[in-house]
Structure 1
Amino acid sequence: MSKIIVIGANHAGTACINTILGGGKENKVTVYESNSNLSFLGCGMALWIGNQISNGDGLFYCDKETFEKNGAEVHMEANITKIDFKNKKVYGKEKDGSEIEDTYDKLVLATGSLPIIPKIPGTDLENVQRVKIYQNAKEVIEKLKNPEIKKVTVIGAGYIGVELAEAFVRNGREVNLIDIAPTVLSNYYDEEFSETMKENMEKNGVNMVLGESVVEILGDKKVKAVKTDKGEYASDMVIMAIGFRPNNELGKDELKLFRNGAYIVDKHQRTSEKDVYAIGDCATIYDNTIDDTNYIALATNAVRSGLVAAFNILGQDIESAGVQGSNGICIFDYKMVSTGMSLKRAQKLGIDADCVDFEDLQKPEFIETENPKVKIRIVFDKKTRAVLGAQMASYYDMSMGIHMFSLAIYKKVTIDELKLLDIFFLPHFNKPYNYITMAALSAK
């Protein structure tokens, strides 16, 4: 029998724990979770704040009782503060203040990530909010019951910032979205796509404050305004959505770390320390687009990494197949999805890359019902012709198409092979000369 300790039980931890417990009763599984809840779907917070769902109860998909029913020992609101890797021991404190000293045969670090808070004056003012965990979202929603909170400023125009900006507009607030970058979602899309999202947000009432750096949050106890290097923006609430950093507090001096501080793991999710695994946002992941280790913090990646670690702990020699960083977003009904590399990123990495763009209706012109245009970009290597990435945008839900491109990148399919790909036609779904085929045929 192996004694397995898992520290952290959100997406990665939950997937790992459930898989180990489902693999038989011969292992003893002990879980230490610092929060009062687990398995929280943080991606649903914007829907909750924006009144698109009535409450946050459905954002949990597992609980302490389920783990215990399946044989785990679960310690909630328990903080592990130290790990002795040599002697395989963990130390910490329970909720009641009692000391924790426990031993393990296998250890899984699923400590997640922490919000990045800039070192500027005013971040400690009242109504300067973080939105990371369930309690954060609940606090924001409670405060929004106050009609005096009319102007909300979101700092950071990545995925979370963009989603929250939409949510506050839907909640009836005036919204500023500030970012130092000249456009939104700049880590995932080329400018030709991110600009369309920017225009979509402006059209729906978000005041876009781009290309400006926040230097101070102003106020007297309560926030009153956000000051940038170019102006001031009145604010009754400020949301810090700059991004997240890996939570590596446990073992950061003993384990090998990635350039951003994440635990470096191999394809089995093993760290540099024997019998210690790391999964989810605290760890690296294998990136097929660069054929190397990378850091891509997505819930889907967290779940996959939890499964891989669990199967290896159970004695099955399973490697991660790697990821392409597939992602998507829907803001004011405008959908954008991408996978792999943008052209900008490929060129930055020194790859001799090119792209092909195409735009067309989803369905034939004679269709009289909803029939929006779809914009697509395929990025490919000019020498090998291999597909490196894809981006798609539309008011139509074309999101399933990006999964094909994810597989294409993984299997090193060329842009030329896409030209005669067997894509069926039916007017209810698409055009006979569909935009994927036409984009591939347009490639130089």
Structure 2
Amino acid sequence: MVTAEVDGKEHKESYEKLIFATGSTPIIPPIKGVEIVPGNREFKATLENLQFVKLYQNAEEVIEKLKDNSKHLNRIAVVGGGYIGVELAEAFERLGKDVVLVDIVDTVLNGYYDKDFTDIMAKNLEDHNIRLALGQTVQAVEGDGKVERLVTDKETFDVDMVILAVGFRPNTALADGKIELFRNGAFLVDKKQETSLPGVYAVGDCATIFDNARNEMSYIALASNAVRSGIVGAYNATGHELEGIGVQGSNGISIYGLHMVSTGLTLEKAKAAGFNATETGFNDLQKPEFIKHDNYEVGIKIVYDKDTRQILGAQMVSRDSAISMAIHMFSLAIQEHVTIDKLALTDLFFLPHFNKPYNYITMAALTAE
């Protein structure tokens, strides 16, 4: 039986199968001055111009405020250097705002890429006049009714708006402790998206998903994973047995024309997961040198296990968006446990309009130890 509030009244509904698709909620960090209006379900802060960016309504509110020139919102601090924080920093700078990006770690996009790659993105941001305040812990957001200052353990920034993008946590409160949870609080599901309660499924950001790189259940909150887990959960809930084949956490970002894509584990994550991991890499032009136009440099890193030789992850960076297609191949390679040695001999087509006969993928694999 499910109990809900409908039009202010308690409503009970029976079910044969139940699917939780409750998503995630923004992390509200223990920072002085950061509070949510009691009872508000749209993450509205008590301090004006302190913004969360989880819901469509949150983004809409920020956009409307920035359109209103009478509010004089010219200095914006973004807290959190993940994908959302970096993309917001670019968007605000393109609107002519003074932007500072703050994060507790010493780099941006931490966890998605290794530091040699994140340093490239950090320089890209700085080259476009975004101030980076990395390795700083936010201690307070201050102001008389509205945002006026952001205080860290190292600096104080005079700002007109603060955006909090420090991550999300699975939204599983409705289960009220009746379903087994993963270590981060997500619903622990099997490959059919079924929870510890028979006939009860969970999909999307509120649930775990099988990680092929780690070969175990994990938590990877991505829209692409939500779509796939939704398909699997729906099939099984309607009596059509289907197991998910797992994911690799493939993702990408494009900031000021710099494209970065990754899949699987970074070298740092692979080592932390217990793999005897190492890396191989290569930098080259996308096309032969005689192609003088629209021919950009590409950097690639492939992470693999020294013992099994299996590919665990890949990262790519370029101003050529065509690299996004190559990451699909690496995603499949991880899923199918392809070795770095087999990749070196994989049949990759060649045409000078597209690539080189000895391209960066082949060369990175051939030079692996």
Task: State the distance in 1 between where 2:31 and 2:54 align.
Answer: 20
The Cα shift of 1:421 comes to 1.0
Task: State the distance in 2 between where 1:156 and 1:344 align.
Answer: 20
Q: Find the residue that maps to 2:182 and give its secondary structure.
A: coil
1:65-96 per-position Cα deviation (integer Å, ceiling 9, x unaligned): xxxxxxxxxxxxxxxxxxxxxxxx111212x3
**Other-structure match for 2:22:** 111
Is 1:145 aligned with 2:70?
A: no
The Cα shift of 1:375 comes to 0.3
Q: Find the residue that maps to 1:139 and give its secondary structure.
A: helix
Task: State the distance in 2 between where 1:252 and 1:347 align.
Answer: 36
> Aligned AA for 2:82?
G
2:99 to 151, 162, 175: 175
The Cα shift of 1:112 comes to 0.3
The Cα shift of 1:139 comes to 0.4
Q: What pairs up with 1:361-400 in 2 under 5 angstroms?
A: 361-397=285-321, 398-400=323-325
Q: What pairs up with 1:297-336 in 2 under 5 angstroms?
A: 297-336=221-260
The Cα shift of 1:427 comes to 1.2
The Cα shift of 1:306 comes to 0.5
Question: What is the aligned-residue RMSD (CA, Å)?
Answer: 0.8
**Other-structure match for 1:283:** 207
The Cα shift of 1:431 comes to 1.1
**Other-structure match for 1:92:** 4
**Equivalent residue pairs, number:** 355
1:393-417 per-position Cα deviation (integer Å, ceiling 9, x unaligned): 0010110100100110111111111
1:238-259 per-position Cα deviation (integer Å, ceiling 9, x unaligned): 0010000000111141110111
1:332-389 per-position Cα deviation (integer Å, ceiling 9, x unaligned): 1111000011111111122111101110000111112111100000011101111110
Task: State the distance in 2 between where 1:253 and 1:284 align.
Answer: 16
Q: TM-score, normalized by length of structure 2? A: 0.95
Q: Find the residue that maps to 1:311 and give its secondary structure.
A: helix
Q: Find the residue that maps to 1:144 and give its secondary structure.
A: helix
Task: State the distance in 2 between where 1:365 and 1:252 align.
Answer: 62
**Structure 2, gaps ≥5 residues long:** 35-45
Task: State the distance in 1 between where 2:10 and 2:104 align.
Answer: 45
**Other-structure match for 2:42:** none
Q: Find the residue that maps to 1:220 and give its secondary structure.
A: coil
**Other-structure match for 1:102:** 13
Q: TM-score, normalized by length of structure 1? A: 0.79
Task: State the distance in 1 between where 2:223 and 2:338 align.
Answer: 26
1:171-198 per-position Cα deviation (integer Å, ceiling 9, x unaligned): 1111110000000111111001011000
Q: Find the residue that maps to 1:302 and give its secondary structure.
A: helix
1:151-181 per-position Cα deviation (integer Å, ceiling 9, x unaligned): 0100000111111111111111111100000
Q: Find the residue that maps to 2:175 and give its secondary structure.
A: coil
Q: Find the residue that maps to 2:174 and give its secondary structure.
A: coil
1:220 to 144, 155, 161: 144
Q: Percent identity?
A: 57
* Mean CA deviation greater in 295-304 or 418-427: 418-427
Task: State the distance in 2 between where 1:157 and 1:293 align.
Answer: 26
**Other-structure match for 1:418:** 343
1:133-159 per-position Cα deviation (integer Å, ceiling 9, x unaligned): 111111001100233100010000011
Q: Find the residue that maps to 1:339 and give its secondary structure.
A: strand
2:262 to 338, 350, 355: 338
The Cα shift of 1:316 comes to 1.7
> Aligned AA for 2:251?
N
Is 1:434 aligned with 2:355?
A: no
Task: State the distance in 2 between where 1:155 and 1:297 align.
Answer: 19
The Cα shift of 1:314 comes to 2.1
1:165 to 86, 89, 97: 89
**Other-structure match for 2:43:** none
The Cα shift of 1:120 comes to 1.4
Task: State the distance in 2 between where 1:319 and 1:344 align.
Answer: 30
Task: State the distance in 2 between where 1:315 and 1:222 align.
Answer: 53
**Structure 1, gaps ≥5 residues long:** 1-88
Task: State the distance in 2 between where 1:146 and 1:232 align.
Answer: 26
Task: State the distance in 1 between where 2:186 and 2:176 align.
Answer: 9
